[in-house]
Amino acid sequence: MKSLMRLRPGFWLAALLFVFLALPAVAQENPAIFPLADVTPGMKGVAYTIFSGDQIEKLDVTVLGILKNAMGPQQDIILVELAGADVAKTGVVAGMSGSPVYFDGKLAGAISLKIGLFSKDPIAGVTPIQNMLDIEKSMTQPATQAVANASPQAASDLTIPSMSPAPATDENATRVPLGGGQFLIPIETPLIFSGVLPQALSRFSSNFQALGMSAMAGGTVPPSPEDAQVQPGDMVGMDLVSGDISVAAGCTVTAIIRGRVFVCGHPFNGLGSVALPMTRAYVVTTLASSLESTKIMNTGGVIGTFQQDTTTGVVGQLGGGPPTIPVEINLTTSTQQRHFHFRVVENPKLTPLLVAMVAYNGVLSNTAYSEGTTLEMNGEISLEGHPSVDLRDMFVPSDTGMPDAFQIAATVEAAFGIIYGNPYEQPKVSKVTVNVDSLSSSRWSQIEGAWSDKSEVSPGDNLNIKVLLRPYRGEPFLREIPVTVPPQASQGNLQILVSDASSLNRMRELFGGAAQNRLRDLDELIRVINRERQNDCLYVTLLQNTPTLLVEDKELPDVPASEINVLDQRRAPGGAQLLYQSVIGEHSVPMNQVIAGQQYLSITVK
């Protein structure tokens, strides 16, 4: 030992220099860049990724060639063959995208593409690092403006979205042909679910696959001070949902430059400016599969914010995470109450789907819940600076094969679709609350007949409308609804519509189909949404053949001709709409069950 201490200082300096030079290039921040122009076929290099645990492993890389303009104009791809570690068994793995590739100790790019499905050939496409660094040029906009860039739907296209699986993207748009029927496609982004029931996962997996994400079971680990000590070759997560369940996408870190973290080498979902929490991810193991090998991972604490999601990669900043939307799901049955709390990212494309999924999962998570019950929903979407959007409805068991609770998810997603699709402004959601009561049996009745006790009336008269209802697996019963003929009723024919909510809502849509063209702002749109009739009520609507003027979010029935002439619609197209039938009275009776059907009556006003 003493002899070692007597060694010259130069020896220790040389030893330290040797250790420093022996460190893998993957540990470097702000790395030197290897130009694409200097990459040639046959060149040897290395790549770094994790197959299990926290151990970054080295892969040998051999350049096969350069695919010019493969992903678009000036978007070249380096085609390489991988060797070493477990790659012979797994091939190119979901979650490997972003793994850094080095030549002569300089960063050349990120592994981002693989050869189709059912292939274990360790051949990959590499996105050149210059193309990833170009993302910084689009990052002059603050991350807080992320959702503001979403293009709203046109005012004439405010329709309720369907809950059917999202249409698959054009495969040819993301394929790079190699000849012989082979294609390079972006490596799948594993989407890790924790706390999500298999029924919910299977129901929504096709929606996520259509967005380029591969559903995979995973978990979470408690935040640790070491989470922020991330380096190229490590994995990070993009947290979409946190709380009682977690949903996170995973990619490998390509580079860390001036605190910015570059990952994936291909788009997560091509969302542009985003504000997604960046978390540390830890690989548990890698599952080898002929269809699709993938990394199984856990996510840890928040270490920053992803700000850009573009064609050549995803970029974020180390530090604090962005604000997310609190979501509360409360389910009550006859024997149990369950409460679930989540936080969901705010993004017009992802939020509706994510909130629908957590609502569906929350209902199913109550062990006392069972199919065949009636579900009553009462909740709201709270918006900053605007009225809340009401979430109210009642749902009975369906014979279509669709799970009963899925109707809750469809309604929640549809409400978000309308709000995010408005043509006025980008809304800021502050909270979502969904309360669901599970009521015993299937509670609904069909309108089988209706009649009035009078065939002729005068303005101001009272009449009784009798409605014959047939309940599900029950005996028919009568419900009598007293109605007063309004004093302003005109002489002649008066139509009486006895109906459920959906029939009345459809009629109002036909009357005011261009309503969205009349509205001035988001507040008026929300008021129109909140006026939707509820399907647990029985409605009686009085209609007469006199003009109704629709102005903004208001309906002005029985309008005098003088007012119509003053507004002169021809000079202000879209500002008002004239209908040739007026609703002069509407009565509703709560039924505590879903009502279906409609009947028309006709009486004479003397």
All structural domains of the chain with their residue ranges: 1-321, 325-439, 445-605
For residue 232, what are the CA distances in angstroms to 47, 306, 361, 559, 606?
10, 16, 35, 70, 85
pLDDT at 112: 92
Judge whether 489 and 544 are in contact, CB under 8 Å.
Answer: yes
CA-nearest of 36, 269, 276, 249 to 143 is 276
Q: How high is the pLDDT of residue 371?
A: 82
- Please state, in angstroms and rounded to a whole number, the distance separating the CA atoms of residues 17 and 15: 5
Query: What's the length of the chain?
Result: 606
Contact of 424 with 523, CB cutoff 8 Å: no
Cβ within 8 Å of residue 332, ≥6 positions away: 435, 436, 437, 438
Report CA-CA distances (Å) from 270 to 312, 325, 501, 593. 9, 21, 40, 44
pLDDT at 583: 82
The two tokens of residue 102 are: 């080095």
429 contacts 147 by C-beta, under 8 angstroms: no
Q: Which two tokens stand for residue 509?
A: 């849509």
CA distance linking residue 135 with residue 132, whole number of Å: 6
CB-based contacts of 284: which residues, under 8 Å, 6+ apart? 52, 53, 218, 219, 296, 297, 298
Q: Strand (E) positions, 258-312?
A: 260-263, 272-287, 294-310
Fold of the CATH domain 325-439? Ubiquitin-like (UB roll) (3.10.20)
Q: What is the pLDDT of residue 168?
A: 37
- Written as six digits, the tokens of 168 are 């698959």
What does each C-alpha distance from 457 to 124, 302, 341, 606 come to in angstroms? 81, 70, 56, 6
Residue 422 to residue 593: CA distance in whole angstroms: 32
Q: Are 445 and 467 in contact (CB under 8 A)?
A: no
Bridge partners for 550 per DSSP: 555, 577
Q: What's the predicted TM-score (pTM) here?
A: 0.79
What is the DSSP code string of 165-200? PPPPP-GGGG-EEEETTEEEEEPPEEEEEES--HHH
Give the burial class of 469: count Cβ atoms within 10 A of its Cβ; 0-12 exposed, 13-18 middle, 19 or more buried.
buried
Q: Which residues lie below 8 Å from residue 159, measured CB to CB, with a gap of 6+?
A: none
* Predicted local distance difference test score (pLDDT) of residue 135: 87
Tell me if residue 65 falls in helix, strand or coil. Answer: strand
- Residue 49's contacts (CB-CB under 8 Å, 6 or more residues apart) are 56, 57, 59, 85, 93, 96, 99, 111, 233, 252
DSSP 72: S
Residues of the chain with pLDDT under 50: 1-27, 141-181, 511-516, 553, 569-575, 578
Q: In what order do the strands lie in the sheet with 462-471?
A: 477-484, 462-471, 444-452, 594-596
d(CA 417, CA 313): 27
> Could you say which DSSP state residue 510 is in?
H
Give how far Cα 329 sits from Cα of 273, 307, 364, 431, 593, Å: 29, 29, 11, 11, 22
pLDDT at site 32: 93
Q: How many CA atoms lie within 13 A of 40 on its CB side?
A: 2
Residue with tokens 């309004």: 486
| pLDDT for residue 109 | 96
Our CA angle for 72, 277, 99, nearest 5°, is 50
The pLDDT assigned to 577 comes to 55
- At 456 the pLDDT is 94
SS3 220: strand
| 317, 149 contact by CB (below 8 A) | no
